[in-house]
Amino acid sequence: MTRNATMTSHAKERVVPTLLQWRFWVVVGAVGMVFLGLAFRAAYIQVIAPDNLIARSDSTTIRTKETPFYRGLITDRNGEELAVSVPVRAIYADPKVVHRDDGLADNRRWQALAEVLGQKVDELKAKVADPTRRFVYLQRQVSPAMADYVEQLDIPGIYLRNESRRYYPTGEVTAQLIGFTDVDDKGLEGIEKLYNNWLTGTPAKRKIRKDAKGRQVEIITEEEGEAPHNLQLTIDQRVQALAYRELKKAVHYYKATSASAVVADVNTGEILAMVNAPSFNPNNRQGVSAHRIRNRALTDAFEPGSSVKPLAVLSALEFGSVKPDSIIDTSPGWMRLGGSLVQDHANMGKIDLADIIKHSSNMGTSKLALSVPKQFLIDTYYDVGLMSDTGTNLIGESSGLFHEQNRWSDFELATLSFGYHISVTAMQLTRLYTIIGSGGIKRPLHIIHSDTKSEGERVLSEENTRAVLHMMESVLEDGGSGKKARVPGYRVAGKTGTSRKAVAGGYGEEYVNIFAGLAPASDPQLAVVVLINEPHGDLYYAGDTAAPVFGKVMAGTLQLLNVPPDDRKVSSLASNSGDSHAN
C-alpha cells in the first residue's frame, strides 16, 4: 500500500454542520411561550377582566377632595356666642418621606419639635419608625404660633394641615348645658351632641383625576355640601351668669355637695338659665371627673319634700272637697295611719289653706290628700308632668321616679302629698311652677329659640290656681319658712322644701334643700327653682340655704329683664319718699 493510500485511509470524513440544532429549538420554543403568555395576559387584562387594573390605576390617580366647613355657632337668645369654632393646625408626618429624605438625621430639630409639642423625642421618632406608613398625626389642634415654629424647623416629611377647634367663651357657666366636642369636632355631650348633625352640615365633595406629576387633569364628579347651621338657644347669658355666680357661692358657703338652678319664662316655657355647681372648664377638660360633666338639673331626681305641697291643696280644690276659705283641723298635731305616724313640728290647731302652705303642715296636706279619691290625686300628679319628661328633649333627661301600684295605703297617699314616695328633677319641678304661674296651662319647656309659641294644655282651673298662688305668697311673710327669699319691690309666691335623702332601709342624715317660686305674683313672668344638695354646714333647712339664693337670682333676673315692680307697699314708700324730698 502506497503512502498516499495510507494517508487517505487514516483521514476523517468531513461532516457539514446542521443549521438548526436542538438547543435552538428549545430557545425558540421558550420565547414563543413567553410571547404567547404575554398575549394571553394582555387579552385577559384588557378584555376579560379589566376592572382590577382600572381600580389599581384609579387608586393612584383619582382623589376625593372635601371642602370642610367650620362648625355652626351656638348663641343665646340675644346673639351672645356660647360656642364658636376657631382655626387651628394639625401636625402630621409622612414616614415614607421622612426615611427617604433622611429626615431623622438632624437630632437637634427633632429635639426642638419634641419640646414644643411636650413629648419625648424617642416617642416622637417611634411614630415615624415604619417607612411603609404614609400618614400619622403627631399632634392635633395646635395654636398658630406653635404651627409656625414647627414649619420653620423644616423637617423633611413633617407637614401641617388646617382644622378647627371648638371654643367656649362662657367657660364653666354653660359647660353642662352646651357640652363639648372631641378632637374631630364631633359633639360628645349636651347641646353639641344632641344637635351635632345640624351644627356640622355636610362637606362638599369633588372627585378628581391626577396625572403622574400630581396635576389635576379631570373632574369626575362634584357633590354640593350643606353648610352647617347656627343654633340659637332660649338661654339669656346674663341670667345664666348671674345664677351660676350665686350657685357657686352657695356651694362654697354651705359646704354643699352640689347645687342646681333653673329659670324659666312662665308664659312661653322658655328656659332662661340652667346651671349646676360645681362645674368644669370645657376648654380644658384634663382631669375632669364625670360627676362635674353631668347636667344634674336634668339627670338627678330627688324627693321634692314640701315644695309640692301646693299641689295637694290644688287637688282638693279641683275635686271640690274644700274651698279657698275652708278651715282644716290639724289637732293634735299628729295622727297614725296604718300604724305609721304623720306629724307637724307643733300643734297648729284649726288653720286655713294659706296657713297650711305657709307653715308647711304635714297634717293639713295629708288630710287634704285623703279628702279626694286616690286615683284623682295621682292623676293630678300625672297631669302636671311630675312623672314624665319636660319636653326639652335634652340628652340624659330623667322622667323622675314614681312607684305606681294598684293598692295605696292612707299613709302612702299622705306622704305623697308632702313630697315623699316620688322623685323629680329640678326641671320637672320648674314645669310644675310654670303651670301654677300661668293659671293652670301646661306647656313643654324648651331650650331652642323659636318664634312659635305653644298654646299649651289646660290641666288646672285658673280660679283655683290663682287662689293657691296667692296662698303661696304667705310663705315669704313674717312667720313663713321662705322670708329670706323676698325680693324688694316685688310680690313673690313660693315654697320651701327640705327632704332627707333616702338610703338603704330608710332615710339618712343628708338633706336636699329646695326653694321654688314665681314673680311677680300679681302677673307671674318667671319661675325659679333652686336646689342645694347635701349642705354640711350649720344651716341645713331650705329657708336658710336655698331661699336666699332664690331671692338673689330672682331679683337679678327681674331687673335684667326690666320687669316692673308690683309691690304696692314699696311703691307707696317710694312715692312718700319722693314727696318728702319735694317738700
The question of whether 306 is a catalytic residue gets the answer yes
Residue 2 is assigned to a structural domain of this protein: no
pLDDT value, residue 573: 37
Exposure letters 180-190 (e unless 16+ CB within 10 A, then b): bbeeebebebb
CA distances in angstroms from 211 to 57, 61, 171, 395, listed in the order given = 11, 6, 49, 49
So what's the pLDDT on residue 580?
38
How far apart are alpha carbons 536 and 155 in whole angstroms?
Answer: 58
User: How confident is the model at residue 502, as a pLDDT?
Assistant: 73
Residue ending a domain, among 211, 232, 253, is 232
Residues sharing a CB contact under 8 Å with residue 384, sequence separation 6 or more, in sequence order:
311, 431, 432, 435, 442, 459, 460
Q: Report yes or no on 379 lying in a domain.
A: yes
- Alpha-carbon 318 to chain mean position: 38
Q: C-alpha cell of 541?
A: 333647712
Give yes or no for a cis peptide into 169 (omega within 30° of 0).
Answer: no
Asked if residue 23 belongs to a domain, the reply is no
Q: Are residues 419 and 529 in the same domain?
A: yes
DSSP letters spanning 238-266: HHHHHHHHHHHHHHHHTT-SEEEEEEEET
Q: Is residue 474 part of a domain?
A: yes
What is the pLDDT, as a whole number, of residue 230? 94
Domain assignment of residue 439, given as a range: 237-281+293-573
Query: How much is the pLDDT for 104?
Result: 86
Q: What is the DSSP string of 273-335?
A: EEEEES---TT--TT--HHHHS-HHHH--B--GGGGHHHHHHHHHHHTSS-TT-EEE-TTSEE
Residues sharing a CB contact under 8 Å with residue 152, sequence separation 6 or more, in sequence order:
none
Q: Which residue reads 416617642 in cell numbers?
A: 123
Q: What is the CATH number of the domain that holds 558?
A: 3.40.710.10
Which residues, at least 6 apart from 177, have a Cβ–Cβ distance to it below 8 Å? 190, 191, 235, 274, 275, 295, 447
List, as one string, the DSSP characters of 401-444: EE---S---HHHHHHHHTT-SEEB-HHHHHHHHHHHHTTSEE--
Q: Which residue, among 419, 474, 414, 462, has the nearest Cα to 437 in the 3D structure?
A: 462
Residue 146 is predicted with a pLDDT of 87
Number of folded domains in the chain? 2
Terminal alpha carbon distance of the chain: 181
DSSP letter assigned to residue 48: I
Residues 140, 143, 144, CA angle at the centre, nearest 5°? 120
User: Do residue 265 and residue 381 come from a single domain?
Assistant: yes
CA distance 454 to 442: 10
Instruction: Note whether 557 and 501 are same-domain residues.
Output: yes
Task: Give burial (CB, 10 Å; 0-12/13-18/19+) of 222.
Answer: exposed
Same domain for 227 and 337, yes or no, is no
The residues near 21 (Cβ < 8 Å, ≥ 6 apart) are: none
Residues 180 and 258 in one domain: no
What is the identity of the amino acid at 576?
N
> Do 342 and 475 belong to one domain?
yes
**C-alpha to C-alpha distance for 100 and 570, rounded to whole angstroms:** 83
The angle at the Cα of 269, spanning 266 to 275, to the nearest 5 degrees, equals 95
Exposed, middle or buried by CB within 10 Å (0-12, 13-18, 19+), for 554? buried
**Helix or strand run (H / E) with residue 58:** helix 51-61
Kindly list the distances between the CA atom of residue 484 and the CA atoms of 272, 544, 547, in Å, as whole numbers in the listed order: 23, 7, 6
- Choosing from 85, 258, 306, 423, the catalytic residue is 306
Greatest Cα pair distance in the chain: 181
State the cell numbers at 448: 331652642
174, 283 Cβ separation under 8 angstroms: no
What is the pLDDT at residue 206? Answer: 65
What's the CATH code of the domain at 146?
A: 3.90.1310.10
Q: What is the number of residues in the chain?
A: 583
Beta-sheet pairing, 258-265 with 526-533: antiparallel
- Regions of the chain with pLDDT less than 70: 1-20, 22, 45-46, 48-68, 203-225, 504-506, 569-583
Contact partners, residue 170, CB within 8 Å, separation at least 6: 82, 178, 237, 240, 241
Q: Are residues 225 and 249 in the same domain?
A: no
For residues 228 and 253, membership in a common domain is answered with no
- Residue that has been written with the C-alpha cell 389642634 in this structure: 141
Q: Are residues 524 and 387 in the same domain?
A: yes
Residues 188, 88 within the same domain: yes
> What is the reported pLDDT for 17?
54
- Residue 379 sits in the same domain as residue 504: yes
Same domain, 419 and 330: yes
Asked whether residue 45 is domain-assigned, the answer is: no
Numbers of helices and strands, H then E, in the chain: 22, 21
Q: Does residue 56 form part of some domain?
A: no
Question: Is 443 within a domain?
Answer: yes
- pLDDT for the residue 14: 58
CB 554 within 8 A of CB 487: yes
Residue 441 in domain: yes
